[in-house]
Amino acid sequence: MRRREAWATSYAREHAQRLVHNIVDGSLIGFDGGEYGGSLWWYPRAPRPGVKLSDQNVRSIVVLPGATSAVVFVGLSHMGLVSGQALRVARNDSDGRWRVTDANTFRGYAESARERP
């Protein structure tokens, strides 16, 4: 099992599609490794560890005006499994932490802009 985990980590690091959006206090970074998984992270501007917000494949990130919230489309379409959600992520004013504040499941799969002709 350890060998598979090492391979999956290497694949995600070297081949997963990445989306990076600058926000008010750092960056939202989404990964999409297809069937091998994905994730959404917030990284601060100052050199500190990031915070994992979701462990789903990130298809698109839309930063809302003010850069203190975003809508993140996540999902997977693989071998007949089709899933999708819109996650609302926002910065909490009281403690400055980013969190998923709402999740809406929808029928289908969120297509990313990079897939369009």
pTM confidence score: 0.77
Q: Where are the chain's structural domains?
A: 2-110
Least confident of 46-50, 89-93, 107-111: 107-111
Per-residue pLDDT tens digits for 43-84: 998 888 999 999 888 999 999 998 899 999 998 876 566 678
In 1-117, the DSSP E strands lie at 17-23, 26-32, 38-44, 51-54, 58-63, 69-78, 81-91, 98-105
